[in-house]
Every structure is written in C-alpha cells, then in structure tokens.
C-alpha cells in the first residue's frame, strides 16, 4: 500500500472513481439544499484508501499533540477511527439522543485532554460545533477539526479546520432553493435523522 500523503487532486480522483460525488437535489445534514452531494461512505468502503486518507490527515495535524480523536456519528466514525489509529490515540464518537448530540457508551474525556474532532464532510459544521461543545463541557481542549471534505462557506465553529479537499459547492436554505422552485425531486442521503 502507498503510504505517501495524498494531494487534493488524488483525493478528488478517489472520490470521483468511487462514485462518491453525486448530482441531483439533496437535503444536506445541515438542512441546506444542494445540487451536489459527497457520499464519503463510498470512499470509506475501501480500507486501504481510508488508511491513506487518515494517514494524510494525521500528517497534516502532526504538530497539534493530539491525545484523543472524537467524531460525530454517523459520517465521522470510520474516518475518525482511522485517524485515531494513524495517530496512535484513543477514539470516541458522539451520537444523537432525543435530537441532542451526546457521548454515550461510557465514553469519557479526561480533563485537559487534547482532542481533534474529525468529520467526513463539513458544510456549515453544525455537528462539529456540537462535538466541540461536548469536548469543552467535559474539560477537554479542542485542538482543531479535520475532515476529508470542506464544502466551503461559513462555519458554526471557530476552531482551525484541516481538510484534504475544499469543494466550493453552492447550497441554499430550503426557502431559497432554486431546485425546489423548479420542482426537482429532493433526496436526503445524510445521517442526521438516524437515531440510536
């Protein structure tokens, strides 16, 4: 397996080759609508490729002295675990319980632990912001956020974002969506509505 860091072009090629960049009319996890959706799960089907992506993220956050990786379920679990493995640190994930993000399964953050939050795709970063809040409430120190894809635009968090690929993809609030106005059928492939 190739262990060299991946370039943005290689990440984009991997997404396209896996059929992970979809076109249509999508309701994003953030609630916004877009004509492009990145289904990172298609890339994360390949363990060797997932390992390379994770090693690239780990190399880019090397100076952060990470003690723990935390990720929001469901999208961040696979890449979060792989990044934790590449960094040789613990991994935990948050889940929604009654609509609110929480750490379940007896997951704990030691006070002062330096935590990297990892997500597959960041659009507005609402889920990431919730995990950052959980880290802070537990006494941890959020050292940054990492993702495979940054979809661009303003974020709901202030932490530094390290993304392997930035895709400037237009999105709209539902009431402003040009695809809704043209009656294009809407699909919702994200995981926000999954509950445990």
Which CATH number do you get for residue 143? 3.40.50.2020
Question: Tell me, what DSSP letter sits at residue 179?
Answer: H
Share of the chain above pLDDT 90, in %: 64
Q: Is residue 87 part of a domain?
A: yes
Q: Indicate the number of domains in the chain.
A: 1
For residue range 110-126, list pLDDT tens digits in order.
999 999 999 999 988 99
Give all strands of the β-sheet with 114-122 in edge-to-edge order: 100-103, 90-97, 68-72, 114-122, 141-150, 161-166
Q: Is residue 190 part of a domain?
A: no
pTM for this entry: 0.85
Token pair in block for residue 185 = 């059928």
Rounded CA separation 119/128 (Å): 7
Hunting for tokens 């890339």 — which residue is that? 43
For residue range 69-119, list pLDDT tens digits in order.
999 998 899 999 999 999 999 999 999 988 899 898 889 999 999 999 999
Nearest to 79 by CA among 1, 145, 31: 145
Q: Is residue 32 part of a domain?
A: yes
Rounded CA separation 64/50 (Å): 21
Q: Is residue 31 part of a domain?
A: yes
Q: Is residue 1 part of a domain?
A: no
Q: Which domain holds residue 115?
A: 8-181
> What values do phi and psi take at 12, rounded to 5?
-60, -45
Q: Is residue 75 part of a domain?
A: yes
The dihedral built from the CA positions of residue 166, 170, 175 and 179, taken in this order, carries a sign that is negative
Q: Is residue 66 part of a domain?
A: yes
Q: Is residue 187 part of a domain?
A: no
């Amino acid at each position: 397996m190739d262990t060299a860091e991946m370039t943005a072009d290689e990440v984009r090629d991997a997404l396209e080759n896996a059929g992970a960049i979809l076109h249509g009319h999508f309701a994003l996890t953030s609630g916004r609508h877009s004509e492009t959706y990145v289904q990172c799960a298609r890339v994360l089907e390949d363990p060797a490729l997932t390992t390379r992506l994770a090693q690239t993220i780990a190399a880019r956050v090397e100076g952060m002295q990470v003690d723990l990786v935390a990720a929001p379920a469901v999208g961040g679990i696979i890449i979060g675990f792989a990044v934790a493995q590449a960094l040789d640190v613990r991994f935990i994930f948050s889940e929604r319980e009654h609509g609110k993000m929480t750490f379940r399964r007896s997951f704990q953050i030691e006070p002062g632990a330096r935590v990297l939050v990892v997500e597959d795709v960041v659009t507005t970063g609402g889920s990431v912001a919730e995990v950052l809040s959980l880290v802070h409430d537990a006494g941890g120190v959020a050292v940054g956020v990492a993702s495979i894809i940054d979809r661009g635009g303003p974020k709901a968090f202030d932490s530094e974002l390290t993304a392997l690929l930035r895709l400037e993809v237009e999105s709209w609030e539902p009431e402003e969506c040009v695809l809704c106005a043209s009656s294009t059928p809407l699909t919702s492939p994200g995981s926000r509505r999954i509950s445990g």
